[in-house]
Amino acid sequence: MRRWVRRSLWDMIPRDHRQSESALRRRQLVTVGFGLLGAVVLGASLRIEPGSFWFYPATLALAGVWTIGAFASGPLHLGHIRVWHRQDGQAEGRFVRPVLSPILLGLGLAGVFVIGGLVVREIAWLDRQVRSVLDFADQGSLPLLIAVTAINGVAEELFFRGAVYAALPRHPVTWTSVAYVIATLATGNVMLAFAAILLGVVVGFERRASGGVLAPILTHCAWSLSMLLALPLLFG
């Protein structure tokens, strides 16, 4: 387990993702501009009345903002992790795309949130914060909500762990987590902001270790889809 955690969240694989000064400045300007635009669209989408048709176009528009901003900023990378096996009595490592580990990590993180939900529902004002988000799940189409949740999870990681991370020459895990929380605060929902802190740190370390966005995307989607399905049962 310890080796698995180190491989997923800590051990950095070798890579060369260097950028010229002009390319870095351009990426920084693009990410700031699209970050501000995305925060506005995010705040507007979660202030739409639950059950409204406009919720789906608004959330897809948000995904479009994050995705366009990510690819407009510059090159993105999927990333790798190193796995070890023994051959002729010696340990040899090879690089593979991170798939199973990020999904398991996302499911584990969802389990932590479900346990935390047992406490949250006993605190009235926090319970109201969670239920205000769940109103969309209660009154919306579940298949559409699943699709929108997955699309937005991919888009957010492309932008925050792709474009924003690459735009930060120092302490990118910390600052991408801060940026993600600030954008989420546009919703005015304390519980979403708290979730953004924990999720942002985990996927930030995955980005640091793997050198790409694939692991953060899979963890984010596994976590968010699990929350979409589990929290209505917990707070029903």
Tens digits of per-residue pLDDT, 191-232? Answer: 888 889 999 999 999 999 999 999 999 999 999 999 988 888
- The CA–CA distances, whole Å, from 118 to 123, 128, 154, 222, 230 equal 10, 14, 28, 20, 12
The tokens of 168 are what?
């930060």
Q: Looking at this protein, which amino acid is placed at residue 135?
A: D
Report yes or no: 156 and 220 within 8 Å, Cβ to Cβ.
Answer: yes
Taking alpha carbons only, the member of 47, 56, 40, 33 closest to residue 159 is: 33
Q: Which helix (H) or strand (E) holds 15?
A: none
The tokens of 15 are what?
């890579």
Q: pTM (2 decimals)?
A: 0.91
DSSP 159: I
Q: Digits of tens for pLDDT over the chain (236 positions)?
A: 777 777 788 888 888 788 899 999 999 999 999 988 987 887 777 677 766 778 889 889 999 999 999 999 999 999 998 887 666 666 667 888 999 999 999 999 999 988 988 888 888 888 888 887 777 666 667 888 899 999 999 999 999 999 999 999 999 999 999 998 888 877 777 788 888 999 999 999 999 999 999 999 999 999 999 998 888 887 76
Report yes or no: 154 and 221 within 8 Å, Cβ to Cβ.
Answer: yes
Boundaries of every domain in the chain: 2-234
d(CA 34, CA 65): 7
